[in-house]
C-alpha cells in the first residue's frame, strides 16, 4: 500500500485540512453533504472568490471582531500567537529566537579569539592574504617548519625556535579560556531552555483541548461480530462514554483507493464539462472505463474487494469519555506492568465478554492517526526500519565517494609540511628558477610568497604561472565541494522523507520524529564528517590497517589539525556553512513564493476544478521536521569546529536569525495553516543538544593541542629540519586547554546524572513529552462542554469518515465495493456517508 502522498495532499487541500490540522468548511463539499455517494458528484468548477475565502480559512490569519480575516504582522507576531496553531510551532520559533540570542552572546565572546588569531603570525605569505585563514587557529602560534643550513649550529637555532614557542604558550591559554567561557554559557543556556520549553508546553496545553485528552485506544477485541453498543456497555463502569469507533483492517489496500479517488475526481470534472461540451463524452466514458478496469484488477488481487468499510474486520477501537476523571480510572484499571502475563493477570470483569484480554492505553488526537498504517505490527516496522537504515548508510557511502572525487584535485597539491622538507622558503627568485625546477618545488616556493607580489611582478608571475593555475583549480574545487554538499543535502531532504514513510508509522508525530532523526544524522554526517574523513590520515591506527578499503579512505593528507587543514578543509566547511545561511530558504523565499503569487494573480484561470484552485491559494505544507533537522545540523556543525574557527559561531547566529524571520514571513504569507505539531520534536532537540557540547569539547581539546600550531617542544630530525614533538591524547588532556575542556565535559555528565537522580528519586518524570498524558487536569471540563473548542483546533471525532483527508478514500472504497458487488450480481448497498 502506498502512503499518504501528493494525492492525499490534493484531497486534503480540497476539503481544507492537513494532517493534524484544523478542519474547515468549504472545498469539495463532502463535509457539508453527509449523504454524498460518489466523489464525482462533489466536484465543482473553479471559483476565484471561493478560493480566496478558502485561503483565508486555511492560512494563518487573525479573526477580527467584525468577522474579517486579516494578515498578522510579520514584525510583531510572537511565538505565543503562533502557538494557537500547535505547541510544536510555538516551540520551534521559541527555539530559533532564544538560540539566536545565545549565539549572539557566543559571537560577541568569539571576537576575543578571532582577534587573537588575527594578530598571529603563523601563516605563510600566500595564506595570510586570505582574510578567512587569518582568523583561525592556523594563524596562531609561532612554529614554522624550517631546515637548518649546515653552516649554522642546530642546537642554537633549536633553542631560539623553542623560545618563540614558549612565548606563544599564553596565546593557546587565551583562546582556550574564551572557548571555555562561551561553552559554559551554552551549557547554562541548555538548562534554562529546558525549563522554558516545559513552561511553554504546559501553558499551551492548558490553553488548548483536544479529543485525545478524553480518549483511549483499545486492542484485543474480537475481530468480527462486535458492535459499538457492546463496547460502551463494557466501559461505562468507568464513566459516561460519548463515542466508540471501530478501526478496521484494510490489509494494505487503502492506498489503492487513493488512486481510485483521483480517478473519481477526474470523472466528476469531465461530467461537468460534458454538460456544455458534448465532445467531452468520449473522455468521460474512457475515464469510467478506467474505473471499471481498476475495480476488476482489485477484484483479481483480493478476495474481499467487494467489502465496504463496515464489512471489514476490526483491528482496534477508540473510545471517548465525557470527562478526564473517567479516562484516568479506565487507564488505571488496565495498567499492567507485566505485559507478558497480562492475559493471566487481568481480572475477568475487565476482560471483554469475560474472555478477551484487553490492552487499553492513551491515544493521540484523531487527526494525528495514520489509519492506513495501524495494522502494521512492531516486527514489520522493525524490518522496514532496518531496510531504511541500510539504504541511509548506502546514501552516506555514496556521498563519501562523491566528495572523494570532487576533492581529488585539491588533495594532489603538496601540504605545507611537505613543502618545508623540499624547499627553502627564504630562497630568492633567481635561486628558485635555477634549483626548483620540478612542479612540486615550484608550487611550494610560490606558495610561500605573497600573492600580490606574484600578480604585480611579471618575473614572479611567469615563474608561478602553473601555481596560479593550480590554485585557481583548487579554489574552484573547494567552492564546488561546498555547493555539492548543499545540493546533496537538498536531495537527501526529499529522499529520506520518502524512505521514512515506508516505515509505516502509526501517527503523523512518529513519522515526523523519524524524518527528523534520519535527516539530521545524514545531514550532519554529510556536512561535518565527510570532509573530515576524506582528508584524514589514520593509517597508523590498528583498525585502519586491516580495512579492505584502506587505500581509498582514511589515507588523506592530515593526521592532525594543521595549518594546511584550516586553509583547505576548514575553508570548505566555512564556505558550506556561509552558503547555508540562506540556502534552506533561498529557493522558497525568492523562487517558489514569487511564482505562487504570480500564479494566483495571473494564471488562476488555468485551474479548472475548485479543489485545484484551493490548493494553489492555500500554499504548500510547512515541513517542521525538516526545518528542525536543518537547524540542528547548523548548530552541531558550527559549534563542532568553532574552537579552531570561531567565525562559525557568527555564521550560526546569522543562520538562526535569518531562519527565524524568513520562516515567520513564510508561515504568515506563504504556507497553509500548519498541522497541530506536538512538542515531541522539541523534546528530541533538547536531548541532542548536550551532545553538541560534548563533541565541541572533544574537538577543541584536540585542536588546541595540535603539534604544528601549539607544540610543547621541538627537535631536529636526521635531515636537520626542526619538527614538533608529537603529543598523545593523554598529553593533550594534561595541558591547560585540555583541563578546561575536560572540566566542561565533566559538568555535562554531572548535570546529566543529576537529572536522572531527580527523575528517579523524586519521581519527576513529567517531561513536556508527557504533558498531554500525565498532566491532564481534572478541572478541564467535559468533552461535550469543550466540543466547540475541540472542533476549532482539530477533528473532534475518531470516526474516520469525519476526517476530511481519509473520507474521500473511504467513499471510494465503498463505491468500489458497491460497483463490484453490482457487477457480480451480489446485493450490496453503499454505506451512507
User: Do residue 218 and residue 348 come from a single domain?
Assistant: yes
Q: In what order do the strands lie in the sheet with 215-219?
A: 241-248, 314-321, 215-219, 359-362
DSSP string, 6-31: HHHHHHHHHHT--TT----S-TTSTT
Task: Tell whether 158 and 94 lie within a shared domain.
Answer: yes
Whether residues 267 and 172 fall in one domain: no
**Domain, as residue range, for 183:** 87-206+706-761
Closest to 568 (Cα-Cα) out of 401, 402, 409, 405: 409
Asked if pLDDT for residue 417 goes beyond 60, the answer is: yes
Together in a domain, 116 and 228: no
> Which residues fall within 8 angstroms of residue 719, CB to CB, at 6 or more apart?
147, 421
On whether both 259 and 293 belong to a single domain, the answer is yes
Torsion of CA 678, 683, 685, 691, to 10 degrees: -170
C-alpha cell at 33: 453533504
Higher pLDDT among residues 733 and 133, named by residue: 733
* Same domain, yes or no: 216 and 195: no
Q: Residue 256: give its domain's CATH number.
A: 3.30.70.330
Q: What percent of the chain has pLDDT over 70?
A: 81
Q: What is the pLDDT of residue 697?
A: 95
The arithmetic mean of pLDDT across residues 36-62, rounded, is 79
* Three-class SS state of 359: strand
| 15-19, 320-324, 399-403, 476-480: least confidently modelled range | 15-19
- Hey, what's the torsion of the CAs at 351, 352, 356, 358, to 10 degrees? -70
| pLDDT of 281 | 85
Q: What are phi and psi of 609, to 5 degrees?
A: -105, 150
Q: What is the length of the chain?
A: 833
| Of 317, 218, 312, nearest in space to 257 by CA | 312
pLDDT of 80 > 80? The answer is yes
Q: What is the mean pLDDT of residues 686-696?
A: 94
User: Do 715 and 743 belong together in one domain?
Assistant: yes
Instruction: Give the pLDDT band of residue 96 (cuts 50, 70, 90).
Output: very high
CA distance 603 to 500: 35
Above 60 in pLDDT, residue 15? no
- Residue 75 maps to a domain: no
Reduce the DSSP state of residue 5 to 3 states and report it: coil
pLDDT at 216: 93
Q: How confident is the model at residue 99 (pLDDT cuts 50, 70, 90)?
A: very high
Q: Measured between alpha carbons, how far apart are the two ends of the chain, in Å?
A: 24
Which comes out higher in pLDDT, residue 778 or 529?
A: 529
What is the tens place of the pLDDT at every residue in 269-291? 888 888 777 888 888 888 888 88
Residue 655, sorted as left (phi over 0), alpha (psi -120 to 50) or beta, turns out to be: alpha
Residue 113 lies in a domain: yes
pLDDT-derived band at 692 (thresholds 50, 70, 90) equals very high
Q: In the 3-class helix/strand/coil scheme, how is 391-428 assigned residue by residue?
A: HHHHHHHHHHHHHHHHHHHHHCCCCHHHHHHHCCCCCC
Same domain, 287 and 369: yes
For 695-719, what is each residue's pLDDT tens digit?
999 999 999 988 888 888 888 877 7
CA-nearest of 727, 725, 708 to 716 is 725
- Whether the CB-CB separation of 805 and 11 falls below 8 Å is answered with yes
| Tens-place pLDDT, residues 465-500 | 887 777 777 777 667 666 766 677 777 777 777 777
C-alpha cell at 742: 575536560
Picking from 342, 369, 374, the residue whose alpha carbon sits closest to that of residue 358 is: 342
Is 499 inside a domain boundary? no
- CA–CA gap between residue 138 and residue 568 (Å, rounded): 11
Domain shared by 164 and 192, yes or no: yes
Query: According to the model, what pLDDT value does residue 648 have?
Result: 96
Tell whether 719 is covered by a domain.
Answer: yes
Give the Cα separation of 747 and 149 in Å (integer).
50
Q: What are phi and psi of 360, to 5 degrees?
A: -120, 125
Does 270 lie in the same domain as 347?
A: yes
**DSSP code at position 555:** B
Q: In this model, does residue 108 exceed pLDDT 60?
A: yes
Q: Are residues 185 and 219 in the same domain?
A: no
pLDDT at 155: 78
Q: Give pLDDT, residue 663.
A: 94
Number of domains in the chain: 2
Q: Are 342 and 350 in contact (CB under 8 A)?
A: no
Which residues, in sequence order, are CB contacts of 755 under 8 Å at separation 6+? none
Q: How far is CA 134 from CA 114, 128, 175, in A?
A: 9, 6, 14
**Residue at 339 is within a domain:** yes
Q: The whole model's pTM is what? A: 0.79
Confidence band (pLDDT; 50, 70, 90) for 21? very low
Give a yes or no: residue 328 inside a domain. yes
Query: Are 237 and 362 contained in the same domain?
Result: yes
Tell me the pLDDT tens digit for each residue of 492-503. 777 777 777 777
Amino acid at each position: 500500500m502506498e502512503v499518504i502522498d501528493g494525492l492525499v495532499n490534493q484531497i486534503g487541500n480540497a476539503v481544507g485540512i492537513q494532517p493534524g490540522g484544523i478542519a474547515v468548511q468549504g472545498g469539495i463539499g463532502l463535509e457539508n453533504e453527509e449523504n454524498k455517494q460518489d466523489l464525482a458528484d462533489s466536484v465543482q468548477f473553479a471559483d476565484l472568490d471561493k478560493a480566496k475565502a478558502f485561503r483565508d480559512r486555511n492560512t494563518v490569519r487573525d479573526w477580527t471582531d467584525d468577522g474579517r480575516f486579516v494578515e498578522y504582522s510579520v514584525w510583531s507576531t510572537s511565538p505565543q500567537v503562533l502557538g494557537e496553531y500547535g505547541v510544536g510551532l510555538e516551540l520551534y520559533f521559541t527555539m530559533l529566537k532564544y538560540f539566536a540570542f545565545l549565539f549572539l552572546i557566543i559571537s560577541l565572546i568569539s571576537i576575543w579569539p578571532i582577534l587573537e588569531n588575527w594578530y598571529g603570525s603563523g601563516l605563510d605569505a600566500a595564506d595570510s592574504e586570505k582574510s578567512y585563514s587569518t582568523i583561525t587557529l592556523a594563524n596562531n602560534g609561532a612554529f614554522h617548519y624550517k631546515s637548518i643550513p649546515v653552516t649554522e649550529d642546530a642546537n642554537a637555532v633549536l633553542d631560539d625556535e623553542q623560545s618563540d614557542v614558549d612565548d606563544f604558550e599564553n596565546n593557546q591559554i587565551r583562546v582556550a579560556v574564551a572557548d571555555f567561557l562561551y561553552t559554559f554559557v551554552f551549557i547554562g543556556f541548555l538548562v534554562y531552555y529546558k525549563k522554558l520549553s516545559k513552561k511553554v508546553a504546559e501553558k499551551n496545553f492548558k490553553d488548548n483541548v483536544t479529543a485525545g485528552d478524553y480518549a483511549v485506544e483499545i486492542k484485543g477485541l474480537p475481530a468480527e461480530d462486535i458492535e459499538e453498543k457492546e463496547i460502551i456497555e463494557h466501559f461505562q463502569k468507568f464513566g459516561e462514554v460519548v463515542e466508540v469507533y471501530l478501526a478496521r483492517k484494510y490489509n494494505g489496500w487503502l492506498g489503492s483507493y487513493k488512486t481510485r479517488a483521483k480517478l473519481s475526481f477526474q470523472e466528476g470534472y469531465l461530467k461537468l464539462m460534458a454538460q456544455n461540451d458534448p465532445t467531452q463524452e468520449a473522455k468521460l466514458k474512457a475515464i469510467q472505463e478506467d474505473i471499471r478496469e481498476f475495480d476488476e484488477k482489485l477484484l483479481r488481487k483480493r478476495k474481499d474487494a467487494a467489502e465496504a468499510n463496515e464489512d471489514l474486520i476490526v483491528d482496534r477501537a477508540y473510545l471517548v469519555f465525557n470527562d478526564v476523571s473517567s479516562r484516568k480510572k479506565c487507564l488505571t484499571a488496565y495498567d499492567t506492568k507485566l505485559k507478558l502475563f497480562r492475559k493471566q493477570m487481568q481480572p475477568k470483569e475487565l476482560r471483554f465478554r469475560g474472555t478477551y484480554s484487553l490492552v487499553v492505553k492513551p491515544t493521540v488526537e484523531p487527526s494525528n492517526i495514520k489509519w492506513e498504517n495501524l495494522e502494521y505490527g512492531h516486527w514489520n516496522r522493525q524490518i522496514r526500519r532496518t531496510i531504511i537504515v541500510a539504504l541511509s548508510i548506502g546514501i552516506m557511502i555514496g556521498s563519501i565517494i562523491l566528495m572523494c572525487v570532487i576533492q581529488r584535485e585539491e588533495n594532489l597539491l603538496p601540504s605545507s609540511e611537505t613543502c618545508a622538507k623540499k624547499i627553502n622558503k627564504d630562497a630568492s627568485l633567481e635561486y628558485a628558477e635555477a634549483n626548483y625546477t620540478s612542479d612540486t618545488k615550484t608550487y611550494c616556493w610560490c606558495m610561500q610568497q605573497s600573492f600580490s607580489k606574484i600578480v604585480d611582478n611579471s618575473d614572479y608571475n611567469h615563474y608561478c604561472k602553473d601555481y596560479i593555475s593550480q590554485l585557481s583549480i583548487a579554489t574552484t574545487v573547494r567552492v564546488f565541494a561546498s555547493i555539492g554538499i548543499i545540493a546533496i543535502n537538498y536531495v537527501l531532504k526529499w529522499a529520506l522523507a520518502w524512505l521514512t514513510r515506508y516505515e509505516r508509522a502509526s501517527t503523523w508525530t512518529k513519522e515526523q520524529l523519524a524524518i527528523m532523526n534520519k535527516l539530521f544524522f545524514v545531514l550532519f554526517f554529510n556536512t561535518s564528517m565527510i570532509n573530515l574523513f576524506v582528508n584524514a590520515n589514520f593509517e597508523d591506527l590498528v583498525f585502519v590497517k586491516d580495512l579492505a578499503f584502506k587505500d581509498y579512505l582514511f589515507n588523506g593528507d592530515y593526521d592532525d589539525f594543521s595549518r594546511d587543514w584550516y586553509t583547505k578543509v576548514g575553508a570548505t566547511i566555512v564556505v558550506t556553512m556561509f552558503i547555508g545561511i540562506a540556502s534552506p530558504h533561498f529557493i522558497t523565499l525568492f523562487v517558489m513564493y514569487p511564482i505562487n503569487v504570480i500564479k494566483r494573480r495571473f494564471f488562476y484561470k488555468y485551474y479548472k476544478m475548485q479543489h485545484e484552485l484551493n490548493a494553489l491559494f492555500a500554499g504548500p505544507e510547512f515541513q517542521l521536521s525538516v526545518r528542525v533537522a536543518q537547524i540542528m545540523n547548523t548548530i552541531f556543525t558550527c559549534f563542532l569546529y568553532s574552537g579552531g574557527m570561531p567565525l562559525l559561531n557568527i555564521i550560526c547566529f546569522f543562520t538562526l536569525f535569518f531562519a527565524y524571520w524568513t520562516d515567520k514571513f513564510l508561515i504568515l504569507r506563504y504556507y497553509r495553516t500548519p498541522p497541530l505539531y506536538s512538542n515531541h520534536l522539541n523534546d528530541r532537540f533538547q536531548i541532542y543538544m548536550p551532545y553538541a557540547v560534548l563533541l565541541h569539547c572533544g574537538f577543541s581539546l584536540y585542536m588546541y593541542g595540535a603539534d604544528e600550531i601549539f607544540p610543547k617542544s621541538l627537535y631536529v630530525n636526521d635531515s636537520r629540519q626542526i619538527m614538533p614533538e608529537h603529543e598523545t591524547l593523554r598529553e593533550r588532556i594534561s595541558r591547560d586547554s585540555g583541563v578546561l575542556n575536560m572540566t566542561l565535559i565533566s559538568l555535562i555528565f554531572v548535570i546529566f546524572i543529576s537529572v536522572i537522580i531527580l527523575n528517579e528519586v523524586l519521581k519527576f518524570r513529567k517531561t513536556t513529552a508527557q504533558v498531554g498524558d500525565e498532566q491532564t487536569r481534572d478541572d478541564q471540563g467535559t468533552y461535550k462542554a469543550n466540543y466547540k473548542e475541540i472542533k476549532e483546533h482539530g477533528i473532534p471525532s475518531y470516526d474516520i469518515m469525519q476526517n476530511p483527508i481519509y473520507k474521500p478514500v473511504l467513499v471510494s472504497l465503498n463505491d468500489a465495493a458497491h460497483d463490484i458487488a453490482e457487477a457480480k450480481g451480489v446485493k450490496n448497498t453503499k454505506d451512507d456517508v
